[in-house]
Each structure stands twice: as structure tokens, then as C-alpha cells.
A and B are shown apart, each in its own frame.
Chain A
Amino acid sequence: MDAPPPTPRHTRLSTGTYGPNDTKLQQLASTHPFTQQLDVVFPSSATLESVLQRSESEYWACKSSLSAFLESAKAFVSRYAMDSIITALGMPGPDSEDVWSLDTRGLLTLAVTKDTYERLGLVGQRMPWKACDDTFIIHISLHEEVPHDTKPTKKWHRLGSKQKDALRAWDARRGPWHIMYNYQNQAHIATGIEGSAARGVKPSMRKAAGIHVPGVRLRPRPHEDEPDAVDDWDEYMSSLFEWVGMVCMGAQRLEASDRADPYLAVYTPPAGSHVGNITHMRWTGLLPPAFVQSVIDATINDDGWHNSDAPGGSPASRFVAFTGHGVPTTPVAYLPLRDVMSTPIRAPRAESEDTWSLIMTNDREPGLNGSTSVEWVLAESIGQWDSRWG
């Protein structure tokens, strides 16, 4: 029996140097409103471990009707600005594939099947792909006013009486939703909406000793005029991100003492690897973008990863890798920095992918008053039926 071919994936790499004007890295987490898992990998460093272990988050889960939840959540949505403290996800039920999300803009996005769409009575847009053209996307703004001067916002509804009646009728047909939500700023929010159960997110740490640790040297992509250099660069980046993924999975092939049968597995670590210790930390749960960004910022600002435990503390060993996994069943996976009003359409399925992986190195130049330049490379991977890149 032939295995089905893997679904197509799209991957994009971008590089840069971290600085005060580097908006891409400073707002990386805000472009992904729903993250379900964050992995951080770095050569073992006691100080960085202690900093990251103090990073904790929290989210809430409840069972409620959508209309009742929106009545409570509206208090946390800005009335006139595209901003919301609360973000929420409506998970699919056993009998229905309908899902919804409330993102950081205060926009409620419903992804419903054809049958639900024909009964709901709210105008939406059909998915542009033939394979999933029975799914419809509906946008409802929870703000008092919706700016109608842009093309995307003209398709938005405002949460008026007609929309509320439609949602109430839908709740009566469907039953309660299983909802997960969190707050961007949890400092002054002690309790969630009534009937919710709080779930804390604490990091889990795993240390691995005696494994191949790559020597990370990040350079911008060579020009297309040098095809050999481009190929080498692509291959090196591919091996780097493969290594990061294998660490996150706890692969045994990374162990220096691994002697696997080559007929079963053949793995070559990236060029310039040495044997060392690494630390892998993981947060699992509905993580707000602010929390993810705080982890990245705390790592950048901390000296812990500059002084790794690698032999000789070579510059090549000073790196840290972040990997974020988005929630696959959310209709909104990405908010473009340049145009936050437009929402790339995406088919929310359990097999959908929305993953980003960031590797940063700290190339400290000796004798230059401790000046450092943080070079980074970001790999973003999306699955099929995602219009993020056209």
C-alpha cells in the first residue's frame, strides 16, 4: 500500500541583525496571536536557565455559549481602537468542525461549514481553494465603530442586534463551546470569566549532555550570482534547523555516542559541530503573544547565553533557538505587520501548520568594549491552504 504523499509545505527564511530598529524581531510574537507551544534550546547556561524558569504564564478554559462569552469578553476589548486584552479560541466539537477565534485586534473570526453558514445568516467569504470551498470565514468586530475606509474592513460585521440574534440561534442549535482564552496583560487580572478554570503554564526543562552541538555562524544569504555559495548556505541552514527540531523531539541520533544502524537512520550533524551540553525548555498551553515576546526579550537582554558552558566559551557556541508552534485549528494564524487589518485566509484543520523557528547568535567581538551584534535567522513554515504568502 502506498503511503499518501506529504501535504505541501512552504518555508521562508529571513535573516537580520538585531537592533533598536529591528521591528521584525521586536514584534515577532505579536504577528502570531495564538501559540500553543514554545521551545527554547541553547547550550547549557545556569544563568539563562534561572531566568527562563521564572517565566510563567496562565490561560483559562471554560464551557460556555458563544453569545454569553462575548458579553463578558467585550469588557476587555477596546471600544474604538483595534486592540484587545483578551484573546480566545473556540475549539471544534465532536459533531462539528466550526471554530472561531478572538484575536488581539478584537476581531471575532468564525470558520464555519456550509451547513452552518446557510443557517447562520451572516455574510462571509468562501475559501478560495476548491478542496475546502465548503468552509466560510465571517469577521465580526467587537468594537463600537469599525473603520470602513479600507477594503478588508468592508467585509466586517459589527456586533449588533442581528449578529447577536444569529449567534444566539447558533448556540441554541449547537450547544456550549469549549473555549480557551488568555489575557495579554495578566498583571491586573486575577480571575477569569465566571465559570472558568485557570491553567498555569510552567516551563519544563530537559538537559542533554554529550550531544553534537553545532557551531552556529549566521551570515546573510549570498547573492544569486554565486549559486554555489547559495547552495552551501541553504544546506547549512537546513541542517541547523533540522538540528533544532531534533533537539526539541529529544532525538537519540544527536548523541555523540549514538551508533545507529545506517540502514535504520543516517544523520550527520551540521558542519563545525562539537560535543557539548544543551538545555531544552518548553512551555505548553495557550500562550499570549506578550509572554512569548517577553521570553525572547529576556533572553536577548540576559548575559546568560553569552557565557555558555561550552569548552572555551567559543563564540560559535553562543546561540539560542526559539521555536513557536501555532494552534492549527484557529482561523487566524498570522497578523501581517504592515497591514494588521487584512487577515490572510487559512483553512483551519488539525493538520494545518504554522511554525516559526528563530536562531540567534551573539557574535561578540573581542576588545570592542563588549559590543555585540545579535545575528538572527528566522524560518517560517506554513502548510497547505494558507494565503499568507499569496
Chain B
Amino acid sequence: MASPFGSMTGDDFIVSDIYTDLPPIDNQRVKLSSSTPFTPTYVKGNVRSTDPAQIYASRIRGRQLLLENPARESKAKREREEKREKRRAEKANKAARVISSRAAGSSGLWRLDREETKFSLFLPLHSLWLGYMSELLALPPAPSGSITQPVADAVPSAPAMHAKLVKADFHGSLVTVRQSKNPCLVGLSGVVVHETENTFKVVTKKDQLKLIPKQNAIFAFSVPLYSTNPPSSSNLRTTILNAPGSATPLTSPDNAQTVLDLPHIEFELHGNQFCFRAAERSNRKFKHKETIEL
């Protein structure tokens, strides 16, 4: 039987155990030079093998020995780096005038007092939104005189509007809950004063502030059939720039009107598919969900 320790005969016993220690350097003069370094010379001279050079080349040459733990970045330095990054991000946000939601909540940025919760106060916002929609959807100007055009011809291509509407901003729109798993929400209607990721905050006609979850609800909102912007939009811009502090007369002829008092197109909005922040929606690709059922 072959033995890992070498061949064994009856008379002599040759030991070639690879785990045995190499013979110690005792009373020998060690000469070291760059052309004859110590380690290869010593290994090649003492390894009992048929090819000591090959042994050295394959098993020892080029190997790295870790003599102690590698140097680690100090904790203090790491904390300093993190603080620096944080300060940089805060500066960038400040420059972009972005405020965190926690800061907004604590400072009461979105809180409305009772005197401010008036439907009439948000009608100008609603009119602004109508103008925004008119521009976004490129609505045709209202025909002069009475409207004699049949309804079917007047309504533009609704599917073309869908792609723009899902990315639009809904602050100022008039939404109504058409269908909801919670029957108490059905019929609630108001102007959107704040849209978050999961809710619409609306002010109703009864001057009440209502928080409506988007989940498990289907909303209805309307856009005007004809543009509510004046025929010359450059005049409008001039008006705003010249009198920044004054209450700009808005596009609708009567500020007390809502979109429902004008010829309008009604859309349904499925809340379950719409649970995103307004800022994120602008460049989001909407994916199909399994069902539109509540």
C-alpha cells in the first residue's frame, strides 16, 4: 500500500513527510544578496522533492502573508465624512428650496385655520387650474356666440388627454368621490388644496376640510371643454409680471364659477392606481395592475 510518508523497505526508511519542519539553520553562515535571496535558496535547498524549483514557484513565490490586521478607517473619520455629505445635501436642498415633509408638518405649512377653510377662497386656485388644464391639453378656444356645435363633435379625443392627465398636477381641481369601499366617502366633493402620496385634502362647498384616502376609491374630475385662457396668453403673462402683488384677474369671466358651470368633460380617476406623489408622477411610467376593482 502506498504511504503518504514515502516508501518503506525492510532495511531503510526514507521519511519525506511534507509536514515535518525544515532542518534548523544551525551554525551556518547565511549569505543574503539580491541575486540569491534567502527564502528561495533555503526552500529549494531543503525541500525533498524531485523538483524543488517547481514547488517553490507554485506554492511560495508570490504568496502574501497577512502579518497583522489591516488598517481600518477610523470611526471618527467616517462620521466626519457622513456629516460632510449631509451638509452638502442640505445645502443643495436649500438651494433648490425643497422642504422635508417632517419640517413641513412641524411648521404647519399645510395647516389651514378655520377662517382660511372657505370654498370661495380657493375658487381662484381652481380657476388657475382650469387655465393650466387649458394649456396642458391645448383646448380649443370657446366659440363666440351660442354653442351650436353638436356635443360629439365638440369633445376632443379623450384618450390623447389621458397620458397628460395622469402626469398633471391636481392642486386646484374639483374632485368628487364616485365610488368607494367606504360608503361615507361617496359623494364628497371639493377643491384639492393638498395632494399627498395617499390622500387628497379638499375643501368642500360647505367650507369643510376633508381628507380623502386615494385607496379604494374612484374619483371623478372635470376639465373644461373649451380653453378658459384669454385669446392672447402673452397679455396674461404681462399682467402677472407687472403686478405681482395684486390679485390677478383669472381667466374665467366669473370667479364664482367652477368647471361644472362650464361645458366640461368628466374623467374617472382610479385612486388605487394613483397612489404617488405629484412630483413623482411627472416622470413615472404607470404599470397595469391586475384589476381595477376596488
> Contact residues of A with B, CB < 8 Å?
115, 117-124, 162, 165-166
Contact = CB atoms under 8 A, between A and B. Distances in A.
A131 B261 CA distance: 45
A118 B184 contact: no
B136 to A, nearest CB: 29
B294 interface: yes
Nearest to A169: B187
A162 B206 CA distance: 14
B180 A118 contact: yes
B181 A166 contact: no
B219 to A, nearest CB: 13
Contacts of B178: 119
Nearest to A115: B179
B94 to A, nearest CB: 45
14 contacts: A118-B179, A118-B180, A118-B294, A119-B178, A119-B179, A121-B183, A121-B186, A121-B187, A122-B183, A123-B183, A162-B187, A165-B187, A166-B186, A166-B187
Interface in B163-184: 178-181, 183-184
Contacts of B185: 121
Interface centre among A119, A120, A165, A166 (most CB of B within 10 A): A119
Interface string B184-214: 1111000000000000000000000000000
Interface residues on B, range: 10 to 19
Nearest to A162: B187
Contacts of A165: 187
Interface in B135-163: none
B183 A118 contact: yes
Contacts of B179: 115, 118-119
Interface in B95-119: none
- Per CB-CB distance, the 6 closest pairs between chain A and chain B, nearest first, are A121-B186, A118-B179, A119-B179, A121-B187, A123-B183, A121-B183
Nearest to A119: B179
Nearest to A116: B179
B181, B183, B186 pick with most chain A CB within 10 angstroms: B183
Interface in B71-115: none
Contacts of A115: 179
A46 B267 CA distance: 71
A118 B270 CA distance: 13
Contacts of A162: 187
Given A118-B186, A121-B183, 12 more contacts: A117-B183, A118-B180, A118-B294, A119-B186, A120-B183, A121-B186, A121-B187, A123-B184, A124-B183, A162-B187, A166-B186, A166-B187
A120 B184 contact: no
A54 B271 CA distance: 62
A124 B186 CA distance: 13
A118 B181 contact: yes
